[in-house]
Amino acid sequence: MNAHRRAAPLLTFVILLFVQNVSEAATPGGTVLQNVATATYRDATSTTYASVSNTVSTTVAAIGALVVTPKETGCNPQTDVFSIGVLLKRTFTISNVSNIADAYTILNATTSGGKISAVAFVAPDGTIIPASVGAISPPVQPGGSIQVQISVATSGVAVGTQISIGLTARTTVAGTANGLQTDSGQQCGIAAAGAAFTQPGVLNAISKLVDGVAAEQIRSTTTVHYTIAFTNSGGVPAYNATLADNLPVGMRVDPSSLKLNGVPLPSSAIGLKGAALTVALGTIPPQTPEAITFDAAPTNLAALGTSLVNIASLTADNATAVKSTPATVFIGDANVVYDGDAGVGAPIANATLQIVDPATGSAITPSSTKTTRSASSNAALATVTTGSSGTYQFQLSAAQIGTSAHPAVYDLLISASGYLNRHLRLTLTPDPTFTVFTADVAALDGQLLAAPGDYRLMAGPVQLDEVYGFFGNFPLFPQRSVQIDESVDRSLASAGDRLIYTVHFGNRSSYPLGSTTLTGTLPPGLVYAPATARVDGVALEPVQRGRTLTWSFAALNQDHTLTYAAVVMPGVDAGTTLTNPVTIAAIAPNNPNALTAAASVDVQVSGGVFAARIAITGRVYVDDGGTGRFTRADEGVANVRIFLEDGESVTTDRFGRFSFPAARPGLHVLRLDETTLPSNLQAFPVRNFSDERSTRRLVHGVFDGGTMQDISFAVRRAS
C-alpha cells in the first residue's frame, strides 16, 4: 500500500498597523515602518512547516501641531493685578505637540489697553530674544516648548482697568499631512496702585519709635523696645520685602525678640553682622498694617549726652526703598525744664518755650510739636508748655534746621511763674540726611546752662550731637531764692547814739539751702557794740574783721531774725549818711554759685551835743512777755500819740515806732497819751521814769549810754 504525504494547509495572516494620534511620544514624521510576518506549523506527525511573508513598508506622515497657553477666559483679581506705570509683562508658552521639529511664527500680538512696547522669545535657558510680529522662533523639538513675552506700557491707565493680551502663533514646516497650524492664547491684567511702603501720618517715610516715642532717654543699660510700623499702600503685593536696620555702635539687638505682627520670626529670616540687622519678610500683602518689633540695649553705659540714633530701610522687588523716621536713644536727660538751684528731681510744670527769629523776634511755627510720654504741647502754636514732668519736644521740618553750610539760628525764650526768664541762642546744624542735628546752645541772659544729658550747671555754651526734637535740659532760676531785709530803730542819730539794727533773712525756695553766710559792713564812724547780737533771740556773736561782721550757718531752711547794736562815734560830721549794707550768700543743692541777696538801711547824722538840735526815737509795744523790755515776740502799736514836755507830739507808725528828729539839746520828758491806745490795751501802773512800762520817760542827754534806744513805752492788754 502506498503511503501518501498530506499537503500542508494554507494559513492566512492579516497584520493590522495602527498609527496613533501625534503626541509627545509620537513617532517622528518620515519614519519608515517595515513589517515581515513569519509563520510555523507542526502537524500530527510532529513535522514542522515554516513560511515567511513578504515585507510590508509604511512611512509615518509629518503632522504639524502646536498649543499656545494660557487661555484665560476672564480676569482673576487675586492673580492678575499689576502696578500702574510699570510694564505689564505676560508670558505665553508655545508647546510643540507634533511629531516633527518646528519653528513658530508670531502671527499676531494684541492688547485691549495700553500699548505693546516689546515682544520677545524666551529660550529654555532664560535668554531673551527680541522679536516682533512675523518673527520666527528657534526650532523646537517635538514635546518641547518656547515662551513668548509680551510687554505692555501702562502709563495713564486708570486703577481697575482690565487689559486683555493675546498671542497667535503658527507652525512653519510646510508639507505636513495637515498643513500649517495656528493656535492662540489669552491673558488678563487688572490695573492697581503699585506696591509702596508708607505709614499714615508720616511724610515720605515709615514710622520707627523707641518705647512708643521718637526719642527715649535712659540713664543705664536699660532694654528698649523698637517698633517699625508700615503698610503696603499699593494695590499689589510687595515681593521679597527686606528690612535693613544699621543699629548705632554700642547698641545690641536681641535676635530672639524679633516679631512680625506679634509672631516670632524664624532665625533663617534674620541676618545680624555686628550692628547690621537684616530681616527677610517675604511677601507683604497690600493694604494691611504691619509692625516689626524687637528689643535692644546699649552694650555699656555711654557718656551722658550721647545720642544713639538709627534709621531703618524697607524695600521689595517691586517697591522703592523707603527710610523710617529716626529713633533716638539719648543717654541722660535732654528735654527737661527744671529748677536750676535744686537740680535733678525738680522739674518745672507749665513752663513755656518759644522759638523766635532773632532778627525779627517773630515766633517760628514748627511743622508740628510732639510730646514725650509725659509732656504736653499744642500743635497749632509755636509755644510749647511743659507737663508735670517738665519735659518738652519740638519737631522741626527739614527746611527749619538749616544746612551744614548754613545752620539755622534761633532764639529760645523760656518763662515760668516765680522764675527768671531765659533768653538762649540755638544753632542747629543737620546731618546730610536732615534727620538729626547738632544743637549748640548759648546763654544770652548771663545765666548758667545744664551740662549735656545732665542737670549739673556750667557756663556754656553747650553742644548736643545727633539729637532730634530737643535742645538740652534748661535750668530756670527762682526770682528770689533767698530773702533779706534790714531796718534800724531810728533814721536820725547823733554822735554817741546806739542804733539797733534788725535783719530778717530766710529761704524762699522749696528746698533746704546749705552753707549760708550773712555779712554786714559798718560804715566809717559806726562801731559794733560787742555782745549785742541775737539770732532769733539767742546770742550769736559775729566774726569781726575790721568793720565787717560775718555770721555763718550750716543750713538755711526757714526765716530768721538777727538784731545787733552799733554806736555812732564822736567826730562824725552832721549831715553824714551812715549806710549799713548787709548781704546773704547761700549754697543751693545743685548750684556751685552762691545764691545772694542784699539790703541796706540809712541813718542820717544830726548835730551832736554842741548842735542846736538832737533826735529822739522810740517805740510803743505790747509787752506780752512781761519782761519790761522789747523782744522779738512783742507787737508794735500803731497810731499812739507821744508828747514832748513843750507840747510837740508825734504818732507811731504801723510798727509802733516814733521819732522827734529835731528836739532841742538837754533834758526832755516824753509822755504817752493813754487816750490814743486801742480799746483792748492799757498802760501799766508804773511811775518810774526809767522803766519802759511807765507812761512818762526821761531823756537825760545825747551821750547817756542807753537812753536814746530805750525811749520806748510798754503797754499791756486790757484785763
- Catalogue all structural domains in the chain, each as residue range(s) with its CATH number: 197-330 (2.60.40.740), 333-476 (2.60.40), 482-605 (2.60.40.740), 614-717 (2.60.40.10)
Least confident of 42-46, 524-528, 545-549: 42-46
Distance from first CA to last CA of the chain, Å, rounded? 194
pLDDT score, position 607 = 65
pLDDT score, position 662 = 67
pLDDT > 90 in the chain, percent: 48
* Model confidence band, residue 376 (pLDDT cutoffs 50, 70, 90): very low
Say how many C-beta atoms besides its own lie within 10 A of residue 321's C-beta: 11
Say whether pLDDT at 391 is over 60. yes
pLDDT score, position 372 = 33
C-alpha radius of gyration, the chain, whole number: 53
pLDDT score, position 4 = 46
Per-residue pLDDT of 575-599, as tens digits, reads: 899 999 999 999 999 888 889 999 9
pLDDT score, position 491 = 84
* Model confidence band, residue 134 (pLDDT cutoffs 50, 70, 90): very high
Least confident of 367-371, 459-463, 540-544, 602-606: 367-371
Name the 3-class secondary structure at 267: helix
pLDDT score, position 611 = 47
Q: How far is CA 718 from the centre of its chain?
A: 69
pLDDT score, position 468 = 72
CB contact at 8 A, 592 and 583:
no
Say whether pLDDT at 373 is over 70. no
pLDDT score, position 375 = 32
Place of cell 539839746: 665
pLDDT score, position 33 = 77
Between residues 465 and 262, the one the model is more confident about: 262
Give one DSSP letter per residue of 86-121, joined into a string: S-EEEEEEEEE-SSS-B-EEEEEEEESSSEEEEEEE
Which set of grid coordinates corresponds to residue 298? Answer: 546699649
Q: Which of 451, 371, 383, 389 is nearest to 412 (CA)?
A: 383
Per-residue pLDDT of 665-708, as tens digits, reads: 678 899 999 999 999 999 999 989 889 999 999 887 544 433 34
pLDDT score, position 275 = 83
Place of cell 545772694: 596
Strand partners, 8: none
pLDDT score, position 126 = 87
Name the 3-class secondary structure at 674: helix
Q: What is the DSSP letter of 336?
A: B
Mean pLDDT of all residues in 180-184: 96
Say whether pLDDT at 493 is over 90. no
Beta strands in 123-250 (DSSP E): 128-131, 145-153, 162-171, 182-192, 197-198, 207-210, 215-218, 224-232, 238-246
Mean pLDDT of all residues in 651-663: 85
Name the 3-class secondary structure at 675: helix
Beta strands in 523-676 (DSSP E): 526-528, 534-535, 538-539, 543-545, 548-553, 560-568, 577-586, 595-605, 614-622, 635-636, 641-644, 649-651, 657-663, 668-672
Q: Return d(Cα 569, Cα 552) in angstroms, integer.
A: 27
Per-residue pLDDT of 430-485, as tens digits, reads: 887 776 788 999 999 988 899 888 888 888 899 988 787 788 899 999 887 899 98
Place of cell 519782761: 627
Q: What is the DSSP letter of 513?
A: B
Per-residue pLDDT of 334-350, as tens digits, reads: 889 999 998 888 999 99
Q: Return d(Cα 449, Cα 439) in angstroms, integer.
A: 13
Say whether pLDDT at 19 is over 60. no
Q: Return d(Cα 312, Cα 526) in angstroms, integer.
A: 76
Per-residue pLDDT of 593-632, as tens digits, reads: 889 999 999 999 886 543 445 668 889 999 998 898 888 8
Mean pLDDT of the chain: 85
Helix segments in 28-79, DSSP class H: none
Which set of grid coordinates corresponds to residue 272? Answer: 545680624
Q: Which amino acid is at 364?
A: I
Which set of grid coordinates corresponds to residue 666? Answer: 538837754
Place of cell 526703598: 321
Mean pLDDT of all residues in 360-367: 75
Which set of grid coordinates corresponds to residue 487? Answer: 531796718
pTM over cut 0.85: no
pLDDT score, position 139 = 94
Name the 3-class secondary structure at 137: coil
Burial class (CB in 10 A: 0-12, 13-18, 19+), 717: exposed
Say whether pLDDT at 379 is over 80. no
Q: Which of 424, 544, 533 is nearest to 474 (CA)?
A: 424
